Amino acid sequence: MTMTTRRSLLATGAALGALPLHRARAQAANTVKIGVLNDQSGLYRDVNGPGSVACTRQAIADLGATLRGMNVEVVVADHQNRPDVGVNIARQWFDRDGVDMVIDVPTSSVALAVAQVAREKNKVYINSSGATSDLTGSACTPNTLHWTYDTYMLAKSTGGAMVRAGGDTWYFITADYAFGHALERDTTRFITAAGGRVLGSVRTPFPGTTDFSSFLVQAQASRAKVVGLANAGGDTINSIKQAAEFGLTRRGTKLAALLMFISDVHALGLETAQGLVCTETFYWDLNDNTRAFTARVLPNMPGGLRPGMAQAGCYSGTMHYLKAVLEMGVAAAKADGAATVARMKQMPVQDDAFGATSIRADGRRIMPAYLLEVKTPAESRGPWDYYKLLQTTSADEAFRPLSEGGCPLVRS
Amino acid sequence: MLEFLETITGVPTPLLFGQILLGLINGAFYAMLSLGLAVIFGLLNIINFTHGAQFMMGAFVAWMLLTWLGLGYWWALILAPLIVGATGVVIERLMISRLYKLDHLYGLLLTFGIGLMIEGFFRNQYGSSGLPYRIPAELSGAWDLGFMFMPVYRGWVVVFSLVVCLATWLVIEKTRLGAYLRAATENAALVQAFGVNVPRMITLTYGAGVALAALAGVLAAPIYSVNPQMGTNLIIVVFAVVVIGGMGSILGSVLTGFGLGVIEGLTKVYWPEASATVIFVIMAIVLLTRPAGLFGRA
């Protein structure tokens, strides 16, 4: 009696256990898993972080019924701006957790490292927050899409505008890692091409530099007309704040914030940031579509932040990826990352945040670049009304020509 | 002499002086923070890893006082250390006091954990970009030193922190209260036998150490952006300062704070890439040659 009871109990248990397992397997076949890998706790958190996650989820919500029952799961991890941590998470996601696509990945050193893992595992890699133009140059892979901006485009738009305005001598304050080096290199090319000169540069340890006064004083001593900030996020905020404190701008030196996001302007306040010029590919208040997208995602943005271009890129990238998966079928898309990326390159990209854009053979998504100037407190009409549009560079002009990047995919 | 200096260093002398000055300013923060750590370690034998978070809280409380209550910098200079010090007292009473009988390591782990939690809380509430805090009108502006633009506020930071360091040293080394404190570290039972309330004294000492961190936070608020990770970046350096100066040595931590600030400042001129590591190299050398630190008693 006891034996049978125990046996039947075991059998029932096994059956009960197997039931959800079956369902889980059936579900897994129809499930796409997206991993948002970025800085959740450090100096780039407000530029990407939880905001990127909210935008990724918004893309899924906006597609809604068109997903036709396809399950989309989102996982999130903090790479702490460290390549070793980023690579370990990506490997674990691909090998153990069944992640099909990794998106965002700020911090160029991490961005480059993860690109290699995605290629090795043949998954999809959409980089929205990383900046180095090498992602579609010497380090391009058939699995990488570079989505939102890059150092070449920033250098051309912001750097070019500064030189045209008479800033022909430069001194760089450069974050000492892949991103800063690439941004300095790309900007230098435009300065020298326009007949300008770079008088010097200083490499600041990354992460962990909070006091830039010493570097700013060195920049000032060089008597350069423009101090180029080849850094981002918290570093840019501290540099600009301390440059004002040390009277750089009052003495006529111009600051070139080569990569500045709207969250940086918000943290600085218009009083300090007014007049600075920067380049973005997305601004929430650009047109009706960007405003509609912002209104939808805003309730989920951390601390009421308006989405910046890197975060909006996660929205656009996720949406385009899912459209490609729908076209290919989930099984085919999951099986071959490179094929999915190839399909994404063929399809026109269309979303509320960036409008109609396209992807090139080297993985570079091209779109118009907006040269923006930070408003004065008097010009600003309300919260987050920060930019006025100075100039638009067309998609074909904004990015590095396909032939100059040295991407092996283009040559073959 | 100056020309000679310029020839061997390859950097114009005025610029060099400017950098030494900037180094002293950063040293002022190192000194104030390591002072608080030294006071706490010297008297409680607790390695207070919450210190960075408490520094950050000082800056945040200054911002809150301004934004919510309209109380400016000078009020913050008095109120923020009191408020953050009070939270320190609560933490000591509720948690740290239970660990005095155990190894140092437990206190370190507990305070490290509390620090992470406080930082996580502020990060969730306020993000990572930081909040603006302006230099008070009385201290804004700058002196033109010819070779450099010297913001008045930075000068104030150096003078103010020197005064605070000196005052703390005087209280501990030269007053009756300081004598009680030092006696209590040597033999708590005996001091208690003389009618001194030792546990209360220890609690207040922890509160005072925390208040020093918060005071440094208020000083830092107008210079650095008020953000949750502002303490994390600084605190590791400050620990190295304390180790180099000698754990628990008040004078040692103050002198090493200023000294290392200057060394770091000079590294920023000659080899900027190494400026984040130079202090740790010095720490390794000091530990190898004088394990008790430069001013510590072995």
**ipTM of this complex:** 0.81
Q: Among partner residues A46, A210, A220, which is closest to B224 by beta-carbon distance?
A: A210
Residues A206 and A228 grouped into a single domain: yes
**Residue A297 pLDDT class (50, 70, 90 cuts):** very high
Name which of A158-162, A231-235, A301-305, B100-104 the model is least confident about. Answer: B100-104
Q: Among partner residues B22, B123, B276, which is closest to A209 by beta-carbon distance?
A: B276
Q: Among partner residues B123, B130, B149, which is closest to A246 by beta-carbon distance?
A: B149
pLDDT of residue A2: 43
Q: Among partner residues B18, B130, B275, which is closest to A237 by beta-carbon distance?
A: B130
Report the C-alpha gap between A233 and A227 in whole angstroms: 17
Pick the residue with more confidence: B8 or B65? B65
Chain B residues whose CB is inside 8 A of the A203 CB are 272-273
Does B67 lie at the interface with A, CB-CB under 8 angstroms?
no
Query: Is A406 inside a domain boundary?
Result: no
Residues A231 and A376 grouped into a single domain: yes
CA distance B118 to chain A (A): 13
Q: Return phi, psi of residue B224, to 5°.
A: -95, 160
Query: Is B51 inside a domain boundary?
Result: yes
DSSP run (H or E) holding A6? helix A2-29
- Chain-chain contact of B233 with A264 (C-beta, under 8 angstroms): no
Please state, for a pLDDT cut of 70, what percent of chain A lies above it.
Answer: 93
Q: B232-262 burial string, b = 16+ CB within 10 Å, else e? A: bbbbebbbbbbbbbbbbbbbbbbbbbbbbbb
Chain A residues whose CB is inside 8 A of the B154 CB are 213, 245
User: Does position A16 have pLDDT exceeding 60, yes or no?
Assistant: no
Fill in the amino acid letter for A306.
R
Fill in the amino acid letter for B257.
G
Report the C-alpha gap between A101 and B54 in whole angstroms: 40
pLDDT of residue A37: 97
Angle at B273 between CA B271 and CA B275, to 5 degrees: 75
**Mean pLDDT along residues A357-366:** 95
> At B285, is the secondary structure helix, strand, or coil?
helix
pLDDT of residue B248: 73
Query: Is A22 inside a domain boundary?
Result: no
Residues A88 and A48 grouped into a single domain: yes
pLDDT of residue B260: 93
- Chain-chain contact of A213 with B131 (C-beta, under 8 angstroms): no
Residues A89 and A107 grouped into a single domain: yes
CA distance B18 to chain A (A): 8
Report the C-alpha gap between A362 and A411 in whole angstroms: 10
- Chain-chain contact of A247 with B151 (C-beta, under 8 angstroms): yes
User: Does position A47 have pLDDT exceeding 60, yes or no?
Assistant: yes
What is the residue range of A379's domain?
A: 152-280+369-397
Query: Is B233 inside a domain boundary?
Result: no
Report the C-alpha gap between B56 and A105 in whole angstroms: 28
Does B275 lie at the interface with A, CB-CB under 8 angstroms?
yes
Query: Is A134 inside a domain boundary?
Result: yes
Residues A216 and A254 grouped into a single domain: yes
Distances (CA, A) of B52 to A317, A356, B80, B111: 38, 47, 15, 10
Q: How many Cβ atoms from other residues are within 10 Å of residue B147's Cβ?
A: 16
Query: Is B15 inside a domain boundary?
Result: no
User: Does position B59 have pLDDT exceeding 60, yes or no?
Assistant: yes
Report the C-alpha gap between B178 and A271 in whole angstroms: 46
**Mean pLDDT along residues B242-261:** 88
Residues A111 and A183 grouped into a single domain: no
Reference A265, options A384, A370, A355; nearest CA is A384
Q: Which residue of B has its CA nearest to A205?
A: B273
Chain A residues whose CB is inside 8 A of the B120 CB are 41
> At A357, is the secondary structure helix, strand, or coil?
strand
Does B156 lie at the interface with A, CB-CB under 8 angstroms?
no
**Residue A6 pLDDT class (50, 70, 90 cuts):** low
**Mean pLDDT along residues B107-112:** 92
How is residue A345 annotated by DSSP? Answer: H
Query: Is B294 inside a domain boundary?
Result: no
How big is the A-B interface in CB pairs under 8 Å? 126
* Cα torsion A89, A94, A97, A103: sign: positive
DSSP run (H or E) holding A172? strand A169-175
Report the C-alpha gap between B65 and A141 in whole angstroms: 52
CA distance B142 to chain A (A): 8
User: Does position A22 have pLDDT exceeding 60, yes or no?
Assistant: no
Q: How many Cβ atoms from other residues are within 10 Å of residue A100's Cβ?
A: 23
DSSP run (H or E) holding B44? helix B13-44
Does B26 lie at the interface with A, CB-CB under 8 angstroms?
yes
The B residues from 158 to 177 touching A (CB cutoff 8 Å) are none
Q: How many Cβ atoms from other residues are within 10 Å of residue A240's Cβ?
A: 26
Report the C-alpha gap between B259 and B261 in whole angstroms: 5
Query: Is B242 inside a domain boundary?
Result: no
Q: B64-80 burial string, b = 16+ CB within 10 Å, else e? A: bbbeeeebebeebbebb
User: Does position A5 have pLDDT exceeding 80, yes or no?
Assistant: no
Pick the residue with more confidence: A69 or A19? A69
CA distance A242 to chain B (A): 7
Query: Is A92 inside a domain boundary?
Result: yes
Spatial contact of B262 and B27, defined as CB atoms under 8 Å apart: yes
- Chain-chain contact of A215 with B268 (C-beta, under 8 angstroms): yes
- Chain-chain contact of B12 with A176 (C-beta, under 8 angstroms): no
**Mean pLDDT along residues A204-227:** 88
β-bridge partners, A200: A171
Residues A266 and A387 grouped into a single domain: yes
Pairing of β B142-144 and β B149-151: antiparallel
Q: What is the CATH number of the domain that holds A183?
A: 3.40.50.2300
Query: Is A176 inside a domain boundary?
Result: yes
Task: Give B192-224 pLDDT, tens digit per residue.
Answer: 888 888 889 889 999 999 999 999 999 999 988
- CA B191, distance to chain mean position in Å, is 29
Q: Return phi, psi of residue B139, to 5°.
A: -115, 10
Residues A51 and A177 grouped into a single domain: no
Report the C-alpha gap between A180 and A203 in whole angstroms: 8
A217 φ/ψ sector (left φ>0, alpha ψ -120 to 50, else beta): alpha
- DSSP codes of every residue in A22-52: HHHHHHHHTEEEEEEEE-SSSTTTTTSHHHH
Helices B250-270, B230-245: axis angle to 10 degrees equals 120
β-bridge partners, A37: A77, A104
Report the C-alpha gap between B257 and A71 in whole angstroms: 56
Report the C-alpha gap between A284 and A385 in whole angstroms: 9
Q: Which residue of B has its CA nearest to A51?
A: B127
Query: Is A159 inside a domain boundary?
Result: yes
Pairing of β A369-374 and β A71-78: unpaired
Query: Is B76 inside a domain boundary?
Result: yes
Spatial contact of B77 and B83, defined as CB atoms under 8 Å apart: no
A96: Cβ–Cβ under 8 A, 6 or more apart, which residues? Answer: none
What is the residue range of B42's domain?
A: 25-126+142-227
Residues A290 and A272 grouped into a single domain: no
pLDDT of residue B11: 67
**Residue B87 pLDDT class (50, 70, 90 cuts):** very high
Residues A132 and A42 grouped into a single domain: yes
Q: Among partner residues A39, A43, A245, which is closest to B151 by beta-carbon distance?
A: A245
- Chain-chain contact of B23 with A214 (C-beta, under 8 angstroms): yes
Query: Is A294 inside a domain boundary?
Result: yes
> At A93, is the secondary structure helix, strand, or coil?
helix
User: Does position B298 have pLDDT exceeding 60, yes or no?
Assistant: no
Chain B residues whose CB is inside 8 A of the A251 CB are 149
- Chain-chain contact of A214 with B135 (C-beta, under 8 angstroms): no
Reference B141, options B130, B154, B132, B131; nearest CA is B154
Helices in A124-177 by DSSP H: which ranges?
151-154, 160-164
Average pLDDT of chain A is: 90
C-alpha dihedral, B286 to B289 to B290 to B293, nearest 10°: 0
Query: Is B87 inside a domain boundary?
Result: yes
- Chain-chain contact of A214 with B19 (C-beta, under 8 angstroms): yes
CA distance A11 to chain B (A): 46
Does B148 lie at the interface with A, CB-CB under 8 angstroms?
yes
Task: Give B281-296 pLDDT, tens digit per residue.
Answer: 999 999 999 888 888 7
**For chain A, what is the domain count?**
2
Chain B residues whose CB is inside 8 A of the A43 CB are 128, 229
- CA B35, distance to chain mean position in Å, is 6
Q: How many Cβ atoms from other residues are within 10 Å of residue B275's Cβ?
A: 26
Query: Is A270 inside a domain boundary?
Result: yes
CA distance A68 to chain B (A): 35
Angle at B24 between CA B22 and CA B29, to 5 degrees: 105
- Chain-chain contact of B275 with A238 (C-beta, under 8 angstroms): no
Please state, for a pLDDT cut of 70, what percent of chain B lies above it.
Answer: 95
- Chain-chain contact of A242 with B223 (C-beta, under 8 angstroms): yes
**For chain B, what is the domain count?**
1
Query: Is B92 inside a domain boundary?
Result: yes
pLDDT of residue A352: 95
Name which of A158-167, A174-183, B10-19, B223-232 the model is least confident about. Answer: B10-19
Residues A48 and A115 grouped into a single domain: yes
User: Does position A169 have pLDDT exceeding 50, yes or no?
Assistant: yes
A38 burial class (0-12, 13-18, 19+ CB within 10 angstroms)? buried
Chain A residues whose CB is inside 8 A of the B12 CB are 221
pLDDT of residue A28: 67
CA distance A256 to chain B (A): 19
The B residues from 114 to 133 touching A (CB cutoff 8 Å) are 120, 123-132
- How many helices (H) does chain B have, and how many strands (E)? 12, 2
Q: Which residue of A has its CA nearest to B148?
A: A217
Residues A181 and A261 grouped into a single domain: yes
- Chain-chain contact of B129 with A208 (C-beta, under 8 angstroms): no
Reference A317, options A278, A288, A281; nearest CA is A281
**Residue A1 pLDDT class (50, 70, 90 cuts):** very low
